[in-house]
A and B are shown apart, each in its own frame.
Chain A
Amino acid sequence: MDWKRFSFIALVIIVLFGAVVMVGQSQQRPILIITSMLATTIAVATPLTLGALSGVFCERSGVVNIGIEGMMLSAAFFGWLAAIYMFHVFGFPIGISITVGALFAVITGGLMGLLLAVLSITFNVDQIIGGTVINILAVGLTGFLNRQLFFGKGSVFGGQVPNSPGVLPTIHIPIREIFAPLCSDSIICIENIRAINRVFDQKPIAMGAVLLVFIAHFILFKTRWGLRTRSVGEHPKAADTVGINVFKMRYANVIIGGCLAGLAGAYFTIESVPSFEPLLTNGRGFISLAAMIFGNWTPIGAWAAALVFGASQALQINMQLFRESIPPQWAFLQQSYVVGLAPYILTMLILTGIIGKTTPPAADGVPYEK
C-alpha cells in the first residue's frame, strides 16, 4: 500500500464530506454533519471490511474467493436462526441468544469456507465456479429454509416470523464523561463532544472489524504463519520444496476467510437489524471484493477502500437530508438517483486503475498439484 493510494482515498473522503458540509452548513453546524457522516461511514464499512479481509486471507494463500456474498448471506441467516431458536425454543436470555447467534454465523461462514476449500483445493474445481456455487447455494438454501421454517405448512413457528431477541448493544466509549468538564458551561462545546463521542460509540462487530484489520496485517506480514500463507499464494512449488504443506495452509486460510465473511454476515442480522430477509446482503460481498482489489490485497488497504464506499453511502444519505439547501445551479444533485450513483462511479474510477496498478498474488486462482 503506497502513499499515493492512501492520499487518493483521503482526498476522496474529504471531497465527499466537504460536498455535504458545503450544502448543509446553512442547516447544521459542520462538526455535527462530519461526525454523523463518520459514524455512518464506519458502520457501513463494517461488512465490507470484513468481507475484504475474508478475500485477503483466501487470495493471499492462492484461492480466489468470489463466494463472499454467499458466505455472508448464509451466515446472516443461520446466525439469526440460531438466535431465534436459542431465545424462543430453548428459552435462553437475550444476551446469550444473540452471542450464540453471532457464533453460529461465524461457524456457518467457516463451513462455507470449508466447502470452497474442498472444491477448489481437494477437487481442483475452477475457483470461480466454486465461488459461484457458494453464491447460488446460499441464495437457494436461505430462501428455501426461510420459507419452509416460517411460512410452510406445519412450520416450527406456525407461519409467523417470531420476534428476534434483538441486536448487539452499542459500546459506549466515555469520551463525553472525560472531556465534558473541560467545557464548563458552554452548551455548544458539550454538544460537540457528544457528537465526537457518537463516532466512537460503535457496536461490537464494527469495533471488532477495525481491530481485525490490524490483527490481520500483523498475522500476514509479521508472523511465520503469514509468511507461509503468502509463500503458498505466490509460489506454492517453492513453498512445498522447503517443507510447507501447501494444502494445509490453503485449507486453514480459506476457512479463516470463511469465518471472517461469517462475521460480516452476523453484522446484518445480529448487529444492524434484528430480522432476516432473502437477499439482504444486496451485493455487498462483491463490493468487498472490489475493496480488496483496490487495497492491493492488503488488510489496511482494503479497510481504507471499504471506508471510501462507506463514505459514499454517507454522502448519498446526507445529501438528501440537506436537499432543500442545495444551491439552484447544482439542482441536479437534488435528484436522489444522481447521488445514488456515487458508489458506482467511485467503483469504476477505482477499478479502472486511476490509482495505479494492483498486483494479485502470483498463484492466485491456480490450483496446486504436486
Chain B
Amino acid sequence: MKKLYLVLAALIIASMVLSACGTAPSAEDCASPDVFCVGLVTDVGKINDKSFNQSAWEGVQKAQTDGVADVVQYIETTDAKDYAKNIAQFGDAGYDAIVTVGFALGEATVAAAATYPDIHFIGVDQFQAETTEGVSGLNFPEDNAGFLVGALAAMMSESHKIGAVCGTDVVPPVWRFGEGYKAGAAYADAQNGTTTEVFVVYHSDVGFDKTFTDPEWGAQTAKSMMDQGADAIFGCGGITGNGAITAAAQAGAYAIGVDTDQYLTLPEAAPRMLSSAMKLITPGVAKLIAAVKDGTIESGNVFGDAGYAPFHDLEASVPAEVKTAMETINTGLLDGSIKTDVPPVKP
C-alpha cells in the first residue's frame, strides 16, 4: 500500500513538473538590433485552440510572411502562475515585440513593460484603464460585431423574434455586444420594413465569474426565449453563451457565436451555426506588429475591427439578398457611414 502511495505521489509530482515547462524560444540573434523578433505568450490553453490564441498566433505568422518579423516564436502557458515567467523568457532573449493573448495576462504584461522598457508589448483584448508606456492594448468594437449578427438574425428570423444570452452586463464589452445586437436588429428592421422583437438577457448573478461559466443557465435561458418564439439565439458570454448556443442548435434554431468563429470550437452546434460575431484578431495583431517595427505604435488602447464569421453549413439557406445586405452593413461599419450609437460603457 505504501508503495502505491509512493508511485501515485511520484506520478502527480511528475505531471506537475512536466506541465510547468513551456517551449523555450530559439535563442537566435534577437538581441541584435537588425533582427526583428516577435514572441507570443498564450493564455492557458493550446496555440491551436481555434480561438483567441490561434488567431493571435496567425497574426504573428502573417507579420512574418509579410516580411515584417524575422523570428517568431510562441510559448504555451499551461498554468496561470507562469504568465510572468513565460513573458520573461522572451524578454531576456531580447525580443522586440511580445504579444500576450487574453484579458487574464493584462497585469503580467503591464508589469513586464516596466522590467523591459526596450520591448513593446501588444496585449490582445487587454483594455488599458490607464496608459502604460510600452503597452498597447488591442481592443475591438464589440458593438459593431453585435450589430452585424443582430442584423443577420433579424433578417433570417421567420418568427421575427430573436434572442441574445449574455454574461453580466457589468462588464462593458458584454453589454456592448448586447446593445449592438439590438441596434443591428433595429437597423435591419428599418431597411426591410419588418418588426423584430429582441430579447437580451444577462446572467445577473452577483457572483461575477459565475456569469461566464454557467452553461446550464445559458441553456435554460435560450430555451425560455425559444418558448416565446425566438428562432435565432446569440450566445455572448464565454461558457454561459456556449450553453445557449448548444441548446439553440439542439432545438433547431439558428445559433450565433461570439469572439471567434465558433463553428470551429463548438462541434455540437456546428450544423445550426449561422455565424459568429467576430473580433478580427489576426489582421489586428499583424498591423500592430508592423507599427512596432516602424515606430508608429502608440501606447494605450488601440482598436481593431469586428466582423462576422462565414455561414458554413447554412451557406445554402442564407438568401443572396441577405448576403449582399450583410456585406453592405459590414462596409458601412468599417468606413463609419453606419454607426451603432452604443456608448462605451453602460450609462
Contacts and interface: CB of A to CB of B under 8 A. Distances in A.
A215 interface: no
A40 B206 contact: no
B216 A36 contact: no
Contacts of A273: 215-216, 218-219, 242-243, 246-247
A313 B217 contact: yes
A315 to B, nearest CB: 11
Interface stretch (A105-113, A296-304, A336-344, A349-357): A336-344
Interface stretch (B89-97, B115-123, B220-228): B220-228
Contact of B242 (A47, A275, A282, A313): A275
A139 B54 CA distance: 28
Given A313-B220, A336-B169, A275 B228 contact: no
B225 A321 contact: yes
A280 B214 contact: yes
B19 A153 contact: yes
Nearest to B209: A279
Interface string B251-291: 00000000000000001100000000000000000000000
A337 B246 contact: no
B108 to A, nearest CB: 19
B159 interface: no
Contacts of B216: 47, 268, 272-273, 280, 282
Contacts of B247: 273
A160 B46 contact: yes
Interface in B145-181: 168-170
A54 interface: no
Most buried by A among B213, B215, B219: B215
A327 interface: no
B65 interface: no
B204 interface: yes
Interface stretch (A144-152, A177-185, A252-260): A144-152
B78 A36 contact: no
Contacts of A316: 204
A21 interface: no
User: In terms of DSSP, what is the predominant structure of the interface of chain A?
Assistant: helix
A97 interface: no
Contacts of A341: 206
A7 interface: no
Interface in A10-50: 27-28, 32-33, 35-37, 39-40, 43-44, 47
Contacts of B44: 151
Contacts of B239: 275, 277, 280
Size bracket of the A interface? 35 or more
B199 A340 contact: no
Given A278-B213, A320-B200, A272 B224 contact: no
B18 interface: yes
B199 A320 contact: yes
B220 A36 contact: no
A318 interface: yes
Interface in A324-370: 336-341, 344
Contacts of B228: 28, 32-33, 36, 321
A167 B214 contact: no
Given A274-B268, A339-B204, A340-B206, A151 B45 contact: yes
A148 B199 CA distance: 39
A275 B215 contact: yes
B2 to A, nearest CB: 19
A159 interface: yes
A162 B135 CA distance: 36
Contact of A318 (B46, B218, B219, B224): B224
Contact of A321 (B19, B205, B206, B224): B224
Contacts of A230: none
A340 B205 contact: yes
A166 interface: yes
B197 interface: yes
B328 interface: no
A27 B46 CA distance: 46
B36 interface: no
Contacts of A336: 168-169, 201-202, 204
A153 B224 contact: no
B191 interface: no
Contacts of B224: 36-37, 40, 314, 317-318, 321
Given A27-B197, A336-B169, A275 B246 contact: yes
17 contacts: A43-B223, A159-B48, A160-B46, A164-B268, A273-B216, A273-B218, A273-B243, A273-B246, A275-B242, A279-B213, A280-B213, A280-B214, A282-B210, A282-B217, A317-B201, A317-B224, A340-B204
Interface of B: 15, 18-19, 44-46, 48-49, 78, 168-170, 197, 199-207, 210, 213-221, 223-225, 227-228, 239, 242-243, 246-247, 250, 267-268
The 5 A-B residue pairs whose C-beta atoms are closest, nearest first, are A340-B204, A36-B227, A336-B204, A163-B267, A320-B201
